Each structure stands twice: as C-alpha cells, then as structure tokens.
Amino acid sequence: MEEILQGKRILAVDDEHDILETLDELLDMCIIDHAPDYETAKKFLNKSDYDAAILDIMGVSGYDLLKITAHKGIPTIMLTAHALSPDNLVKSIKEGARCYLPKDKISDIAGYLSELLEAEQNNAGKRGKWFSRLRPFFDRKFGPGWRDEHKEFWKDFDETYHISKEDVEKMM
C-alpha cells in the first residue's frame, strides 16, 4: 500500500486544522499541500499538478472544488462528517468523486487512497472497492432502504463498479 503512495502529490482541503494534521500523519509518505478554504485550494489547483485530492464538502465549497478536480482529471476523495447523507454520496459520485469517505473512517484513508491510485494507474473499471468496504457502514448509518430514493443511480453504479466476490475476499 505505501509503495503506491510514496511521493504522491495530494491536495487536502478542509476547514478543520486537526483534520489536515491527521491527514499529514496518516499519509506521511505523500507530499501534501493543505488548503483551509476554497480560494487557497483553487490557487493550488491552478499552479500545481496533483496525483489526487481529498476534499471536505462543507465549509470549503467542496462541490465547486470537485468540479475543478474532475475537469483536470484529478482522482478525488470526498471526505465528510456534516454532509454524510445518501443524497451527498450520490451527488459526489455523479459529479466525479472516486470515493465518498466518512470522517469516521479517516484512519483508513491510506488504504482508500492507494486503491484509488492503483485503479487509476491500471485504468481499472472496478473502482467500487471503497463502496464494497463502506457499504456496511452506510447501511448502519442510513438505515434500511437508504438506496431506494436513487434506485436508477444505484442500479447503474452496481453494474459499472461491480466487485467480484474474490475481490471482496481479498479486501477482508
């Protein structure tokens, strides 16, 4: 896991300083630029190239930044606490995020980021490993039937990002 992350340039955007410090600690093998707000992040995106971005949704105009990273082809993880909802999960993926990660799971970010970068390197169509791992969390958090409101989205998502049983077993 650390091999693929070694020396990767990451843009981390969050208005909570402790989250940025935590990302520094958890991703110490990466080169991380921090931005506490939208304007700073936009300046970084205009002057530097990144291997990935980690964006908070609330407080930093995360969806506006996601439009920029998606346009630039920068694989992006949406990291959230206050915008943790089925609607925001769907919106994040529809707008180009490669992963939607609750801040409750930040301790596992190196694994999610390495999977994302590996899928990008291999042009892998199977970018749904993150969701397979987080589905039980979302099921508990959002309750039964939480995917019902966006049935068509989830049908397409499941078909596009299907992970085989063998892939799931390797993750465990």
Least confident of 26-35, 65-74, 128-137: 128-137
pLDDT tier at 168, thresholds 50, 70, 90: very low
Q: How far apart are CA 128 and CA 93, in angstroms?
A: 11
**Average pLDDT over the chain, rounded to whole?**
90
Its pTM stands at: 0.90
To the nearest whole percent, how much of the chain has pLDDT over 90?
79
Q: What token pair was written down for 84?
A: 């943790």
- pLDDT for 172: 44
Which strands sit side by side in the sheet containing 76-80, from one edge to the other? 31-35, 9-13, 52-56, 76-80, 99-102
Secondary structure class of 78 (helix, strand, coil):
strand
Each residue's pLDDT tens digit, 130-158 = 888 899 999 999 999 999 999 999 998 88
Pair 95, 67: CB distance under 8 Å: yes
- Output the furthest CA–CA distance in the chain (Å, rounded): 45
Q: Which residues, other chains included, contact 84 with Cβ-Cβ below 8 Å and sequence gap of 6+? A: 102, 103, 141
- pLDDT for 122: 80
